[in-house]
Structures are given as structure tokens and as C-alpha cells.
Amino acid sequence: MKRPRMQETASTSVDLLALRECVEQFTTKTIVLLGDFVADEFQYGEISRVSREAPVLILKHRETQLVPGGGANAANNLASLGARVLPVTAVGDDAAGEALIAHFRRQRVNVSGIFRVKGWTTPTKSRFLAGWAHTVGQQVLRVDYEPKSPLPDAVRKKLRQRLSANLRHAHALAVSDYGFGIATPELVQQASAKGKSALHITLDARYRLHRYAKAGITSATPNEAELEAEHHTAIGQNTGELTRAGRATLSEMKLRSLLVTRGRHGAALFEPGDRLTQIPVHGSDQAVDVTGAGDTVLAAYTLALACGASPLEAAHIANIAGGLVVMKRGTATISREELLDAIRAEASGAVS
């Protein structure tokens, strides 16, 4: 039997007042964040000369900044957007882990679900940026530090217990899987089986999205490259291939919605009933820095759904949030006030 053709629409208009009212509710929601906490380290230096030892630049170190990355960036965005965040994760008993915990303490985030693991390495991405005085530094090297061993079973048990306890008080669960072993399909499946039936469970997985097909995920927010890798294809401007891959993932994972971020091409929202909505990029299509933009989208989309927004309304909110954060350098967040201002500006433009 021939399948009905997927109903495709351009960015269906949404009630901007409804979007604003949704964002204003962000402060009333509690979101559990399960995922890999990563330390994003930026080492800035000025180019002093070329080395005599090898044809490489010598950088005179100016400053080092360490900010939350990966799942920690998603948690940071949730907090910045006004939500009460309950992170469930593990970090190493090292300087990077301590720095992440200290950051969230300063943000008044409950850190009781962040477990320190002796002998384990906090995943760290160390970026070296070089520039002349009064110029913007350009990344010249990245060094990654990763755990060399899996999490101990005792820590996994603690994660499972804390996740179950925190979900009793939550409006949604956001899962941020960067492949370091904190978030697993088994852990999410156990949590979803014991949790509230109406609980929104959103997923952003860097690798092998379909591993979560039986985990009870309700929505996912992959970028286009991640969707391509899952289906061993190239999408580009091929709408037919985008439709095929998106519809297959929606069906395989039994999702209520699938939001695919597409860089300068905006976003594509897949919903049951063969519905596909293409949403143009918000703001400029010339991003300053896309580092961590997917974390912002996950945070905004999860919060909007938790507030009762439809998938289309939530997708528009997440698209605006993503468009704002890519105009900032480094791993960044946006605030609830910035998001509200952007929605108001869009409403003013629509009226004029």
C-alpha cells in the first residue's frame, strides 16, 4: 500500500503572544537534566613569533576561561532561561569537575545530583585561540581529555536512584548524551517506566540516536549531521531525503515530535500524521559561533513543552533561542529576558 505523501508546510504562523506567555512561565518549571557534563576550556594567547624548533606559532598566554559544556551547557541554559534545574550526572575528582560544580553553586543550582568520581576524568575540551592585540582570537588547536574507564557500578546505582527521586518533582526530563556514558537508553527507560505517564522526555544525542527507540523518549532535537549519520545519507538541500530520514526516525522512535536543526537552513519539525514544518533561521544566517547551540535548543524546546506549548510553538521558541545564541562567541547561554525581547521584536515587525 502506498504511503500518503507527507504534508509539508513552510513556517506556519504562530501566535507570538502565546509564545511570550509560554516563556514567561519558564520560572515555574522544574527540569531534570541527565547527561554528560563537559568542561569547555578556552585558552587565549597573543601571537608572539614563530618557533625556532618547528614551523608553529608561539602564543603568549593571556587568560584561561572554563565554562560549562555538553550537558552542563544545557543545564546552564535551563538555569539562564529561569527554570529550576536538577542535574543528574558525574564528574571526575579533578580541577575541571570542581570548577563545574562551583559554577552551578554560584548559579544557585542544586548540585546534590552531581557525583564526584575518584580516578575518573571530567571530559574537557581545551581550545587554544590565537590573535594579535585588539583582534578576535581564532581557534588554532583543540585538545580533548576523556575518561579512560567506564563509570563504576556504584556510581551508576547512585545516578539511577537520584534520577528516580528527582523526577517525582519534575515537569520534564532532558537527556544530553555526548557519548561519555552518563546517559544511557537503559537508565532513561527505567526512569520513564517509573515516572509520570505525561512526563515530557526530550533527547539530544550526539551518536546513535536510535539506541533510545525503546527508552520512552517523547521528543528529540538532533542536528542535521546527526540525522545524516543515523541514516548514512547526505541531506544538503534535498528535501526529499530530509523527509525520508526525519519520518523514519519519528516512526522508529515513536516520537511525538522531532525537531531537526539545520544551521543556516533553519529547522524542520516532524510530527505524527505525516506533518513536516520548515522553519526559517531566526535572525542572520551568518553565525558567529555555533558551539553549544544544540544545548540551547534542547533547553528551550524542553521548557516550552513543559509549559504546555504545542510542538510547533516550542519549535519556534527553540529556533529563536538558537538564532540568538549563535551570535555569541564561545559556549554561551541566553536569558529569559533576551528571548522575550526577541519575541517582542518579532511581534513588532509582524505588526509593522
Q: Which residues of 40-76 are buried (b: 16+ CB within 10 A; e: fewer)?
A: bbbbbbbbeeeeeeeeeeebeeeeeebbbbbbbbbbb
How far apart (Å, rounded) are the C-alpha atoms in residues 80 and 67?
14
- Going by C-alpha positions, the residue among 81, 82, 85, 41 that lies closest to residue 63 is 41
Tell me how far CA of residue 158 lies from CA of 35, 65, 258, in angstroms: 14, 31, 31
Query: Within 10 Å of residue 98's Cβ, how many Cβ atoms?
Result: 15
Residue position matching grid coordinates 541554559: 77
Instruction: Catalytic residue, from 36, 40, 204, 295: name it.
Output: 295
Q: Residue length, the chain? A: 352
The position carrying cell 515513536 is 254
Catalytic residue status for 295? yes
Sequence-ordered strand ranges (E) for 18-56? 30-35, 37-50
Placement of cell 554560584 in the chain: 106
- CA 267 to chain CA centroid, Å, is 14
Q: Return the number of other C-beta atoms located less than 10 Å from residue 20's C-beta.
A: 16
In degrees rounded to 5, what are phi and psi of residue 156?
-60, -40
Residues designated as active site: 295
